[in-house]
Structure 1
Amino acid sequence: MKRKLPLILLSNVAGLALFFSWYLPANHGFWFALDSDIFHFFNRGLVENQAYLWLVALTNNRAFDAFSLVAMGCLMLTFWLPADQKCRRHVVIIGLTMLLMAVIINQLAQAIIPVKRISPTLFFTDIYRVSDLINLPTKDASKDSFPGDHGMMLLIFSAVMWRYFGKKAFAVALIIFVVFAFPRVMIGAHWFSDIAVGSLSVALIALPWFLLTPLSDKIIQVFDRFLPQITTAKQN
């Protein structure tokens, strides 16, 4: 713990610096210009390319969110399948620990961060909304988009994979993060900074206190102690 404390504090400072680089300047400083450029770039494409319109619509349909859970589950399954019974139990408990961390961090972030921000599709006028262009249920707006909770969950998953399963698993988890978090930016339900500042700053501040301290291991031990054991009979 003492050896990792400087790294924890450095991560916290980086997270705070990132957040205040967005929060303190008038109109969010350079972040607003970047957000605006990114939003309008993707927004123009909605009427320029029909295939792109359908891609954005489909990847922001609620059903597509289930695929992110499937992708995360498949990655964890690659560690669960070849393991023995004891290690399989450990993989499941790590998954439960990750979900508990995500709930705690998300609730704290929503309660502490003094920001309520509408999505760019509600902020700008004379723009295109997917729901007006195509007859398909899709999430193209939000009345409270900061921080990006979907991106935050995927970042927590990525960090847990790094902590318990290694760098290769972390790299795959980051791909999952990009594939499933950034469609919200493309459709305009989130600003780019909702994820690049909001989700990331929360992750930098909160996650080290779970993953670089004994806390996450303690949570795993509690789950291991109280969850029922599932045993299989040996076959002759």
Structure 2
Amino acid sequence: MQFPTSTRLGGFLGFQLFALLLLASWLIPATGELWQQWNNATYYFLNGSLAANEQWSLLWAVMNNRSADLIPVIAIFPLLLKSDLIFKSTEVRQGFIGLCLLMFVMLIFRTILDKTAKTMGWTGNSPSLELTPFISLDALYPHLSPKDSAGSSFPGDHASVLIIIATYALLHKFNRWSLLLTALAIVFILPRLFSGAHWLTDQVIGGSLIAFFTIAWGRYTPYLAWATPRVDRQLEALFVWIRKFPIIGEWQLFAAPLSNR
């Protein structure tokens, strides 16, 4: 798998410019009013639908439990780890390590945006604390401890991670499997919108800001070309040990590097 060994200015500048234009469209009063209308409409439509029936509200209560954050991993990662869906068999290991390395870059931009948002006053209460009526999943299912409110809701953390994964897959290969992964990512962004814990702009604008700056600095610079083989070598001893186990040891993720075969 080939990562760029020099900065690709088109992607490097393009992703950051698009993210900044999204932010500007939210901050400029004229278009910001449109975003707020979409915020309100999304909240009333999704949160209001929880009154439809008990099974529907229970589903989103479960999806908003902290432990449910593992569901996207279970649903999405097989598409990344199964050979010849998004990554070829010879690319699975490097592709997965590269994605993990992008998450370190994401943490940097997440911290920067979080501090900037608080300093600039971009963040505030979630819609569940601002709008009425509000159907509280926590009140309906307190034993599930669903997240349905936040005092500082911008940006959306989960959305940024899912957008990074989907964009990373689409950039590598645009096919039905990467499109399926993208569709799953969108579905898993929805729970906090249903519960009222995030505004639409928290997810779309906040999540995209973090994700697209991460992609620009991580995917369109020599970072992955430099870091991936080094991490790969450090993990080989662990992977050799894992290969001793049945089933899991046969996963392509843990296969020996081509140079060792």
2:38 counterpart residue number? 34
Distance across 1 between alignment mates of 2:212 and 2:10: 13
Unaligned runs of 5+ in 2: 245-261
Q: Which runs of 4+ in 1 moved over 6 A?
A: 80-84
Between 224-233 and 201-210, report the one with greater CA deviation. 224-233
Which residue type is aligned with residue 150 of structure 1? H
Counterpart of 1:110 (choices 111, 114, 117) is: 114
| 1:112-166 CA-partner distances (Å, limit 9, x unpaired) | 34322211001124422111223432111111211111000011111222344x1
RMSD: 2.9
Distance across 1 between alignment mates of 2:215 and 2:88: 27
| 1:87-130 CA-partner distances (Å, limit 9, x unpaired) | 55434423432332332332232233432221100112442211
1:137 counterpart residue number? 145
1:155 counterpart residue number? 163
Do the aligned residues in 2 keep the contact of 1:148 with 1:199 (CA within 8 Å)? yes
Q: SS of the residue aligned with 2:221?
A: coil
Unaligned runs of 5+ in 1: none
2:232 counterpart residue number? 224
| 2:134 is aligned with 1:127 | yes
Counterpart of 2:18 (choices 14, 17, 20) is: 14
Which residue type is aligned with residue 200 of structure 2? F
| 1:8-57 CA-partner distances (Å, limit 9, x unpaired) | 32332221111011123289311111101111112222223222211221
Which residue type is aligned with residue 108 of structure 2? I
Between 34-43 and 204-213, report the one with greater CA deviation. 204-213
TM-score by length of 1: 0.84
2:49 counterpart residue number? 45
TM-score by length of 2: 0.77
Do the aligned residues in 2 keep the contact of 1:140 with 1:188 (CA within 8 Å)? yes
Between 211-220 and 31-40, report the one with greater CA deviation. 211-220
Do the aligned residues in 1 keep the contact of 2:80 with 2:92 (CA within 8 Å)? no
